[in-house]
Each structure stands twice: as structure tokens, then as C-alpha cells.
Amino acid sequence: MTQWWRGGVIYQVYPRSFQDSNGDGVGDLPGIISRLDHIASLGIDCIWLSPITKSPQADMGYDVSDYCEVDTLFGSLEDFDTLIEQAHARGIKVIMDQVISHTSDQHQWFQESKFSRTNSRADWYVWADPNPDGSPPNNWPAVFGGSAWEWNGTRGQYYLHNFLISQPDLNFHNPAVQDAVLDVLRFWLERGVDGFRLDTVNYYFHDKKLRSNPPDPKVLKGPHAPSPYEWQVHEYSKSQPENLDFLRRARALLDEFPGSTSVGEVGDSHKSLDLMAAYTSGGDRLHMCYGFDFLGPQFTAHHFRSRIERFFKAGPDGWPCWSFSNHDVPRHISRWAAHAVSLPALARQTLALVLSLRGSVCLYQGEELGLPETELLFEELTDPRGIRFWPEDKGRDGCRTPMPWTVGEAPNGFTTGTPWLPVKPAQSALSVASQAGDANSTLAFYRRVLAWRKTQAVLALGDIAFFDVSEPVLAFRRTLDGQSMLCIFNLSAGAHQLTLAGLPAGAVLEPVSESAAITGRSLQLGANGYAFVALDAETTLSVAIST
């Protein structure tokens, strides 16, 4: 099936923290291979492998110094080949991170580009002359703090870096750069990978005139965000229209490898849904995109409904990939804890919710254990963002701590050495082994609900239509080929009773429903309760909270 990704479930593996095989405290490819049976037991369709290519690790692999070599920290190309082979033997696809908006400053391309203004790669990065007073050419800030421009005395110019100073941005306005990065994608496709997660996919192009960004009026009216990056509308530094033509070139390459797919990361707080829709519409661009709309603190029915409806209004034939957690944000179990009667109840409800939305799904390693965010001391941090903006922004280390595998003391089978980040008691207590034999565990629930969803084509591919219901209830129905599924979620720690007008007599709850009961046309939902009811597509319903 060439469109396995449509409605599929992807499991993100963060290699540094999954399983260490050699005792150096950092996870690696042989470690992932040794844990493939655990991944397979979840019933997912695909692994997303965070960066494993050669890197100085200034940004944990998102600063690439050689696109076609595996970093020795993680293993070898032979280990990668074995991982692909072993995953495919278990019916699991593998997509890998590709960070092509920028490289490490140690990359050969940049080493040559910075040497002079006349060498063969002089225009492969974004270089600009200073203003008459020597200042940078415009006001663009870097995500990780400071100006996005760094001075190079050899060339007598500034270069652009949207992230760390050691992560110079490639110049996608140069066709040779586009050709080079497409050659990188081809290298891995020919090696057997099933596609790519494309990092910062809307950062590829910048405004050729280097116009300054305007301020964000919302920020000016309110309290300042921790980073000045959030004080601007990034109208010119990213999300440029030229991106669409490059995405068409990337899709044409992927289409040469039937069954391959692409997931683009869209980072733009002002128009991420519109960009997601534009980047996945038409069948000639990316297969899927995700943004950060569900990776923040908002946990309301209005928020979920409005984001989904806006996406499909902007691109009816586009396709999203929804996720609640990943390696860049605090784990959702902790972000949304204020809305939960308990963290396990929230873990169950949020899995049921993300699996019932229209789109594909990405789960982050450790979700299946109900892992909360790890509380770290400043001296335990490794993330440059957290180190720079502490304590207002504690960075990304809290969601990146190692997977706990075995019962007992930390690091719970992750490594025989000292882990690169600590395993704290809250995570240690939720190890895979401690949950494996418990039918009521979060891990058992994940396996059960993922298996159930595989039998529900309506949830993978069906249309979605929302009911007008008051907070905190989110209600919608999915419809496909004459069948529909009613999906209702109580997004609160209090109980609610609903009236389901038009519900057929004898309607029953699907077995994965939680803290829910139907009596006639009345539905009782306990704290963080939710209900699934299979219906005929012709059934006319209304949903309301009972007074």
C-alpha cells in the first residue's frame, strides 16, 4: 500500500535516549535494534528516527557536518542498514530526520564557503554585507538568542544562522544547493529508508531583499516572552513562497520510490496551519506536515476544534500529522496535568483523542509509559536553549531523558554507564518491565487502543464533523463509506452528563471507552472520560451537556 502513511501511526525514537548498547551513556543504533520488539508490540506503522548523521552535537545532531555518514556516537552505516532490515522484517517502516535548512559550521560546504567570496561554494550559504555602521543587515533574531547574523572576518560579511551560531543557514535560492540536498535524500532512499521527517521545513528560503521583520503587536501589548525571537512576526526570515517549488522537487524525488513519505515540521506561530495546508495540498508537495498547535498549553475543546477546522478549510486535500509530544516541548502529560484527575487517566484520554482526529499520528517515545516531564537542575542541562534562557525557559532536556526499561534503580537498563541525562525517580517508577505484566497499565492500554484503531478505518481515513457543545466537552463524528464513529471527550477533572438526541436504541460503547456509561440517550462521562459509539452514517444526532 503506497499510502500507508495516510492515517498511519508514527513512533518517534530519540536515539540518544532510547537504548545504549556500549556503556557510553548515549543511546545508539544497536540499542534501538535490540528494542525493536517493544516498538513492534505497540502496533505502530513507522519509526521516525531523530538525527543520527555525523555532527559535533552542539544541538544534539541537528547540526550536521556530514549528511551521508552515521555519527560514530550512534554506530555505523552497517548498523543503519541492519536497523532498516530488522524493522522491515517486523512490518515497520523507518523515516529519518533530515536537517537541510542549515548545517554545522564544521561541514565541508561551509568551510569552503567562508574561505572567500569567489570559491565554488561561496554562495551556498546566506552571506550579507554589513550596514554602513558595521551592524547586521537587518533585525532578524536567532531562535536560540541574539542576532541571526554572525560576522566572518575572512569574507568581511555576516552569515545567517536561524539557530546556533554554529548552524549556518544554506542558501536555497542557489539551485546548486537544492540539487545537493536532494542528492542527500536520494542517498538515503536508495539505502532503503522509507522517507523523511524534514526539520524546520519552512525555514529553507529567506527574503532575498533581507527586509527587517515587523514587531508582533500581541507581544508588544503583553508581557515579554523569554526570547526576543518571539517578539517579531517572521514575515521575511522564513516561510517564503519560493518554498513551494522546492517542495515539489522533493516530492518528485520521493515519488520515484513508491511507498516513501515525508513529514514536514512547520514552525511559525502566526500561520502554521495555513502553511501546513499549503505544503501538503495538491498531491505534488509534502505528504504530511505538523506544527506546534497541539504542542502547547492549550487543552480546550475550542482549541482542538478550531485548529482542525482551520487546517481543512485552508487545504481540504491536505494532510496533517497530529502529535501532543515530541523532543522539542515538555511532555503533554505534564503540560496538561491541571486538567486531569490523574496522570494515567490523562495519558489514556489523550491517546484516544489523538488517534481519533482526522490525520496521521505521531507518538513520542515514553508516551506509552505515561512518562511525565523530568525536573532537572540547571547543572544537569545539556540543551543550549535551556542553558541560555533558564529559568523562564528550561529548554528541552526534560522531555529527552532516557527510557526506563527495567525494574529497580536508575538508569533502569538504559545503559551500564552514566546516562547523558539522568533518570529521575518519577520516570524510573514507570519502566517498561514494571508495566509489562499489568493489564491496567498505561503500556497495556496503548497496545490495546492501537490494536483497536487498526480495525477502525473510519478513524484512520474518515471525514470529521464537530458538534456544537459547551466546554469542556469535545464531540465529533468521523464518517467513511456509510459508517460513522461518534467520539466524545470530557476534557476536565469533573464529571459531566450529556444528552445524545437521536441516538439509536441499543447503542453501545466501544470497548476502549473509559469512565463512560450510556443509559438510553444519556451519556455519563467521568473525569477525563471519553466515549466511542459506532453508528450508521445516516443517523442524525445532536449532543448537549445536560442541565
- Residue 215 φ/ψ region, left for φ over 0, alpha for ψ in the -120 to 50 degree band, beta for the rest: beta
For the packed helices 175-190 and 243-255, what is the interaxial angle rounded to 10 degrees? 30
Residues 103 and 65: beta-carbon distance below 8 Å: yes
Residues 11 and 35: beta-carbon distance below 8 Å: no
**143 — phi, psi (to 5°)?**
-60, -40
d(CA 249, CA 409): 50
Residue with cell 514494571: 434
d(CA 18, CA 142): 30
C-alpha cell at 59: 544541538
**Which amino acid, 442?**
T
DSSP H helix total and E strand total for the chain: 16, 20
Q: Nearest-5° angle of CA 39, CA 403, CA 103? A: 90
Strands 157-160 and 149-152: antiparallel
CA 484 to chain centre: 28
Which residues have CB under 8 Å from 328's CB, separation 6+? Answer: 295, 396, 399
d(CA 529, CA 527): 5
d(CA 356, CA 461): 10
**227 — phi, psi (to 5°)?**
-115, 135
Which helix or strand (DSSP H or E) is residue 53 part of?
Answer: strand 53-54
Q: How many alpha carbons lie under 13 Å from residue 181 in its C-beta half-sphere?
A: 27
| 3 three-state secondary structure | coil
Q: How many alpha carbons lie under 13 Å from residue 95 in its C-beta half-sphere?
A: 28
**51 — phi, psi (to 5°)?**
-55, 135
d(CA 155, CA 115): 7
The DSSP symbol for 66 reads E
| 474 three-state secondary structure | strand
Active site residues: 199, 256
For the packed helices 272-280 and 301-314, what is the interaxial angle rounded to 10 degrees? 40
Beta-strand (E) ranges in 114-245? Answer: 127-128, 149-152, 157-160, 195-198
